[in-house]
């Protein structure tokens, strides 16, 4: 197996092969492209308010046409949340407050050895990192969720993988007993909202976010 991978799809494929999760949760299914990397034997739950799958999903897949907030809080979906997920991929709205909420709520439906992946944590420039989309390539300000977790959840192990085009966060050290959105959530959202990409760049983007090279030999030690 080659050490390098060119995109976050390549990283996602290798994580699936390495972990072979029994249960996999994907937030933000969209056209279903990333579901192609699910290995046989994995039970899948995909969540998207407007799924537009271009191909049949893997066997044993349930697509929930709802927002992530609804999925995590509505008793209607309690059965799908009952058993813990081994791997979660957060790729929903590109706004940090929603990504942060999805990560914290996903933690509740995981176990201690689970892995949470978060797309769009490494924007290349200010335009890509804007909260309003004006370009084809758009990461939004999901990177601020990394800062929030680093400051308020130091117990988590968090790395940002340099995977094209906009990076991938990798979170382990999960604490399943955490209860939904913590008291500091609103406070940190208010504090980080005004922060700009230029401020991140001035502070040192890669150092501030804890960037790991896009090589499998650099990523694998971060997995359980």
Q: Are 102 and 49 in contact (CB under 8 A)?
A: no
Give the tens place of pLDDT for each residue, 34-75.
999 999 999 999 999 999 999 999 999 999 999 999 999 999
The set of residues, in sequence order, having a beta carbon less than 8 Å from that of 2 and lying 6+ positions away, is 216
| DSSP per position, 197-219 | HHHHHHH-HHHHHTEE-SBHHHH
The set of residues, in sequence order, having a beta carbon less than 8 Å from that of 17 and lying 6+ positions away, is 39
Count of C-beta atoms within a 10 Å radius of residue 120? 27
Q: What is the pTM of this model?
A: 0.96
What CATH number should be reported for the domain whose range is 8-222?
3.40.50.150
Give the tens place of pLDDT for each residue, 76-104.
999 999 999 999 999 999 999 999 999 99
């Amino acid at each position: 197996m080659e050490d390098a991978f060119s995109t976050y799809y390549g990283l996602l494929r290798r994580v699936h092969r390495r972990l072979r999760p029994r249960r996999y949760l994907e937030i933000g299914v969209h056209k279903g492209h990333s579901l192609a990397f699910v290995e046989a034997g994995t039970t899948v739950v995909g969540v998207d308010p407007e799924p537009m799958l271009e191909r049949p999903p893997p066997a044993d897949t349930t697509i929930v046409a709802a927002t992530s907030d609804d999925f995590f809080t509505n008793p209607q979906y309690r059965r799908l949340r009952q058993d813990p997920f081994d791997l979660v991929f957060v790729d929903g709205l590109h706004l940090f407050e929603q990504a942060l909420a999805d990560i914290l709520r996903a933690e509740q439906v995981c176990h201690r050895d689970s892995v949470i992946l978060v797309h769009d944590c490494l924007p290349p420039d200010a335009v890509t990192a804007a909260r309003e989309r004006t370009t084809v390539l758009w990461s939004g300000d999901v990177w601020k969720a990394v800062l929030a977790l680093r400051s308020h959840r130091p117990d988590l192990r968090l790395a940002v993988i340099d995977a094209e085009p906009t990076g991938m966060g990798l979170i382990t050290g999960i604490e399943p007993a955490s209860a939904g959105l913590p008291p500091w959530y609103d406070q940190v959202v208010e504090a980080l909202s005004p922060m700009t990409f230029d401020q991140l760049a001035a502070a040192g983007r890669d150092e501030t976010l804890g960037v790991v090279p896009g090589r499998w030999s650099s990523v694998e030690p971060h997995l359980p």
